[in-house]
Amino acid sequence: MKWQRKDLLGLRDVSEQEIQFILETAKPMKEVLFRSVKKLPTLRGKSVVTLFFENSTRTRTSFEIAGKVLGADTSSVTVAQSSVAKGESLLDTVKTIRAMQPDVVIMRHPSSGAAEYIANILDVSVINAGDGQNEHPTQALLDMFTLKEHMGELAGKKIIIVGDILHSRVARSNAYGLLKLGAEVIFAGPPTLLPLEMKTLGVQVTYDLDSVLPGADAVMPLRLQMERQQKGLLPTLREYNRVYGLNLKRMEQTGKQTLVLHPGPMNRGVEIESDLADSALSVIEEQVTNGVAIRMALIYLFVGGSANDVD
């Protein structure tokens, strides 16, 4: 397959073949990460710009390492976004970045649709590193990569995503991606954070986590933003933990060795207990490594073209 896409804005409009192709490309990339010299000459002289309008050390660092391992020069622009003090418009910021001749622009922004917005302006590729509550495709890809490493093909696998689905771009991207790979996807969460209408995405939705745990192949608790409680969407974190918090005991209900993933950063004691997070079921640290591999694959595909050899 030849990689022809200009941007990766989300998984909503990406085909199964394209997803599989990205996941395949990430495999040799991951091997590079375990070499003693983690540096390829592949993208020497190429410019990768990360443009972050939200704080996210993890994701930004992951992209930067990915670019650097491939030999590209990475530059990061962090724009403190205040809704009160209006600074330069996104349009002008992006035009400024464009004038610096990057080869790929990676952006995180608090507004849904912001990635598509800049992709319409830029001739170079845009990778969405999270836009509002819309999509976070690289997170979903690294989740799928991790799942596939452990369970092979995902067709028919039962995967539960738990928590604040309403506000989660991770849940949306995972739903789009996992469904394309044939998995059974279940959203579980409290009614205030899980509108039943979300089943139109093609997923099953439930308020009752315990009822769907039996037979689950993987469970992914989402990070619970503390402001949800402050805004009245939840009475207390304590009650949330009681109903949706994952721990080893609760996981026994699955009746099998169920993988636990988490997009990070974790709120230990809220959506996940330490006994589970640090257990053999947890693949949370592998996700981080795989995140670099996925981002290497994407930067490579967008900047380097479609040739398959990495060396």
Partner 1 sequence: MWIKNVHLVDPAQGISGIRNVLVQDGVIQAISTDLDTGEQLSDEQALDGTGKYLFPGLIDVHTHLREPGLEEKEDIASGSAAAIRGGFTGIMAMPNTQPVIDQRALVEFVKHQGERAGLARVYPIAAVTKGQRGEELTEMVDLRAGGAVALSDDGRPIMNAEVMRLALEYAKLPDLIVITHSEDANLALDGCMHWGETSLALGLKGIPSSAEAVMVARDMLLAAQTGGKLHVAHVSAWESVEIIRQAKRQGIDVTAEVNPHHLIFSDEDVTLNSTALKVNPPLRSQEDCEALLQGALDGTIDFLATDHAPHTWEEKAQPMPEAPFGILGLETALPAVWQYLVQPGRLSVEKMVEMWSALPARRFHLPGGSLKVGEAADMVLFDPLAKERVSRDNLASKASNTPFLDQELRGLPVMTWVAGGLKQKDRRIL
109 binds partner 1 (CB under 8 A): yes
Residue 276 token pair: 């589970």
Shortest reach from residue 236's CB to partner 1, in Å:
21
Report d(CA 302, CA 262) in Å as an integer: 27
Other Cβ atoms within 10 Å of 112 Cβ, number: 15
Taking CB under 8 A as the rule, does residue 117 contact partner 1? yes
Residue from 120, 257, 274, 279 binding partner 1 (CB under 8 A): 120
Work out whether 94 is an interface residue with partner 1 (CB under 8 A).
no
Site for partner 1 contains 129 (CB under 8 A): no
Residue among 30 and 180 whose Cβ is closer to partner 1: 180
The CB-of-7 to partner 1 minimum distance in angstroms stands at 13
Identity of the residue, 111 or 206, whose beta carbon is nearer to partner 1 in the bound complex:
111
Question: Is 299 a residue that touches partner 1 (CB under 8 A)?
Answer: no
Q: Is the Cβ of residue 80 or residue 307 nearer to partner 1 in the bound state?
A: 80
Residues of this chain, 12-71, that bind partner 1 according to CB under 8 A: 12
Q: Which is nearer to partner 1, 10 or 245 (CB)?
A: 10
Q: Which is nearer to partner 1, 29 or 162 (CB)?
A: 162
Q: Residue 123 or 309: which CB sits closer to partner 1?
A: 123
> Using the rule CB under 8 A, is 80 a contact of partner 1?
no
- Long-range CB pairs of 89-94 (<8 Å, 24+ gap) are 90/114, 90/117, 90/118, 91/121, 93/51, 94/51, 94/118, 94/121, 94/122
Q: What is the chain written as a DSSP string?
A: -----S-B--STT--HHHHHHHHHHHHHHHHHHTSSS---STTTT-EEEEEESS--HHHHHHHHHHHHHTT-EEEEEE----SSS--S-HHHHHHHHHHT--SEEEEEESSTTHHHHHHTT-SSEEEEEEETTTB-HHHHHHHHHHHHHHHS--TT-EEEEES--TT-HHHHHHHHHHHHTT-EEEEE--GGG--GGGGGGT-EEES-HHHH-TT-SEEEEPP--HHHHHTTSSS-HHHHHHHH-B-HHHHGGG-S--EE---S---BTTTB-HHHHTSTTB-HHHHHHHHHHHHHHHHIIIII-S-----
Does residue 306 touch partner 1 according to CB under 8 A? no
Q: Which residue has the tokens 């990057």?
A: 102
Closest contact distance (angstroms) between CB of 92 and partner 1 is: 9
Residue 211 as a binder of partner 1 (CB under 8 A): the answer is no
Of the candidates 172, 180, 228, 262, which one interacts with partner 1 according to CB under 8 A? 172
Q: Is 230 in the site for partner 1 (CB under 8 A)?
A: no
What is the smallest separation between the CB atom of 169 and partner 1, expressed in angstroms? 6
What are the residues whose beta carbons fall under 8 Å from the beta carbon of 191, sequence distance 6 or more? Answer: 207
Among 4, 84, 155, 197, contact with partner 1 (rule: CB under 8 A): 197
Give whichever of 73 and 116 is closer to partner 1, judged by the CB atom: 116
Q: Which is nearer to partner 1, 196 or 307 (CB)?
A: 196
In the shown chain, the binding pattern of residues 130 to 169 toward partner 1, with x for contact by CB under 8 A and - for none, equals -xxxxx------------------------------x--x
Interface contacts to partner 1, rule CB under 8 A: 12, 89-91, 109-114, 116-117, 120, 131-135, 166, 169, 172, 195, 197-198, 200-201
